[in-house]
Amino acid sequence: MAKSIMHNKEDRTCYLCMLLRDDFATRRDLQEHHAMPGTANRKLSERYGLKVHLCMEHHTAGPQAVHNNIRLQRLLQANAQISFERKYSHDEWMKIFGRNFI
Ligand SMILES: [Zn+2]
Ligand SMILES: [Zn+2]
């Protein structure tokens, strides 16, 4: 498994708690989330480390969960693209994912 280029797993923080609430608390209920949805993109997310760790509330449970909230899904996709392009390039991103989220 590739290491995330978006979020350091060892921090034990929730990516969206940090981003949305400035909450840097360590958590026990973290789950791995691949930033790019869909079967093919999930594999690509894994290969390029486009994944974050999320608490239950921000992953699957309730209205502030990325799987239930298109706005949050887009936010993670945009951040995945930014992280990817910092390491590779915009051309590579478009070649691989075919869509601009920024
Ligand atoms: Zn959270
Ligand atoms: Zn997920």
Q: Model confidence over 52-93: pLDDT tens digits? A: 999 999 999 999 999 999 999 999 999 999 999 999 999 999
Compute, in angstroms, the gap from residue 75 CA to the centroid of ligand 2.
14
**Stronger pLDDT, 95 or 10, i.e. the higher one:** 95
Cα separations (Å) of 43 from 6, 28, 29, 49, 76? 16, 26, 23, 10, 16
Q: What is the pLDDT of residue 1?
A: 67
Q: What is the pLDDT of residue 21?
A: 96
34: pLDDT strictly greater than 80: yes
**Smallest-distance ligand from the CA of 33:** 2
List the chain domain ranges. Answer: 9-96
Q: Residue 7 and residue 15: Cα distance in Å, rounded?
A: 7
Compute, in angstroms, the gap from residue 22 CA to the centroid of ligand 1.
10
Cα separations (Å) of 9 from 13, 56, 94? 8, 16, 27
Counting every residue written for the chain, the total comes to 102
pLDDT-based confidence at 37, cuts 50/70/90? confident
Q: What is the pTM of this model?
A: 0.93
Contact 8, 25 (CB under 8 A): no
